[in-house]
Amino acid sequence: MGDILRRNTRQRQAILEVLRGMTSHPTAAELYNAVRKRLPRISLGTVYRNLEVLARLGLLRKLEFGGTETRFDGDLQEHYHVRCVECGRVADLHDLPFDPSDLRVEGLGGYRILGHHLEYVGVCPACGTRMRSDGSSRSAAPGDSADQMVE
Amino acid sequence: MGDILRRNTRQRQAILEVLRGMTSHPTAAELYNAVRKRLPRISLGTVYRNLEVLARLGLLRKLEFGGTETRFDGDLQEHYHVRCVECGRVADLHDLPFDPSDLRVEGLGGYRILGHHLEYVGVCPACGTRMRSDGSSRSAAPGDSADQMVE
DNA sequence: CTAATTGCAAATGATTTGCAAAATT
DNA sequence: AATTTTGCAAATCATTTGCAATTAG
């Protein structure tokens, strides 16, 4: 909390680049293994720390839905996901019928749709009143290149 | 997996009843503390095991969204939620504007809406092909009373 | 030079599990 | 009587954190 400037480390760059090169919405561990091919001495802790920072900077997205592990997405465009209850894999849904109860999604990618989750995120009245003193906001410049890493 | 019959234990009944009496979408630990007032010797493990069973039977709903802890909901009616990013509390949204990008939800309960998560859940083509041999389906008779506990 | 960041290892925190005893059908 | 379920404790798993050494700016 209360973060100020960020530095452009090799590991941070690598993590973001590798994530962007993947379409699989990897978990932290999966990403760790992928990045390790480029930076063999990177630690899992560093991956976690950077994923957190990069998410705060808005340079990637955390997918904290079903399943136990958090998954990460380097695609910043607004889009939704389908998660397979069997294998846990997550796929993209770019063309979404906006009525979530409309299961026409059937067709999309051949998934057998079982249901959906829709959750709004916000600040409740009680918390909204309390002074906001931490950095719990989102948003960031998609004009990235991971250069101006300022929060 | 491969579950057959379920028994009606005092702890299972208590857990479901207590959950139904709460509107706060408790975590397993919170529910544990609440149930403990009625059954002081119940264990946290038992609470977890029963929450799992009851969810499988469709007698309650698991809310596995943001945040680290899974929350539980005894309300089986289709409805959505708002989660406060500050305190983690989850509130109900019964009257939902169906276009999730429509932030008119503003008003609802005085939340300051920051965004939303929408995820479809289903079975991917690959998994759909493989023979289905486990009990990974949902659905159940809302005509409950937790009597006919058969899977 | 200074503060942010890393690697490593140990610490957490939520959830799961093995097992013998207790309870349900 | 046969099985499921429980309580307890130990085990897992993902994620976090303390700290001294390293590195970016």
Band of residue A15 on the pLDDT scale cut at 50, 70, 90: very high
Assess whether pLDDT exceeds 60 at residue B133: no
Q: Which A residues, 12 through 51, put their C-beta within 8 Å of a C-beta on chain B?
A: none
Helix (H) or strand (E) holding A61: strand A61-63
Looking at per-residue pLDDT, the higher value among B72 and A5 belongs to: B72
A86 at interface of B, judged by CB pairs closer than 8 A: yes
Query: What's the pLDDT at A80?
Result: 76
- SS3 for chain B is CCCCECCCCHHHHHHHHHHHHCCCCCEHHHHHHHHHCCCCCCCHHHHHHHHHHHHHCCCCEEECCCCCCCEEECCCCCCEEEEECCCCCEEEECCCCCCCCCHHHHHHHHCEEEEEEEEEEEECHHHHHCCCCCCCCCCCCCCCCCCCCEC
Name residue A145's amino acid: S
A58 at interface of B, judged by CB pairs closer than 8 A: no
Window from A52-56, B53-57, B130-134 with minimum mean pLDDT: B130-134
Query: Residues A62-77: what's their mean pLDDT?
Result: 85
A77 CA from D16 C1′ (Å) = 29
Task: Please tell me the distance from the alpha carbon of residue A110 to that of residue B140, in angstroms, as a whole number.
Answer: 25
Q: Which B residues, 89 through 148, put their C-beta within 8 Å of a C-beta on chain A?
A: 89, 91, 93, 96, 98-101, 105, 109-128, 130, 136-138
Contacts of A63 in chain B (CB under 8 A): 119
Window from A24-33, A69-78, A91-100, A132-141 with minimum mean pLDDT: A132-141
Q: Is A120 in Cβ contact with B105 (below 8 Å)?
A: yes
Q: Nearest-CA residue of chain B relative to A110?
A: B125
The closest nt to B70, taking CA to C1', is C14
B66 CA from C16 C1′ (Å) = 21
Task: Please tell me the distance from the alpha carbon of residue B51 to that of residue B15, in angstroms, as a whole number.
Answer: 8
Name residue A112's amino acid: R
Query: Residues B32-51: what's their mean pLDDT?
Result: 97
Of A98, A114, A122, the CB nearest to B84: A122
Q: Nearest-CA residue of chain B relative to A139?
A: B114
State the smallest CA–CA distance between residue A47 and chain B in angstroms.
Answer: 18
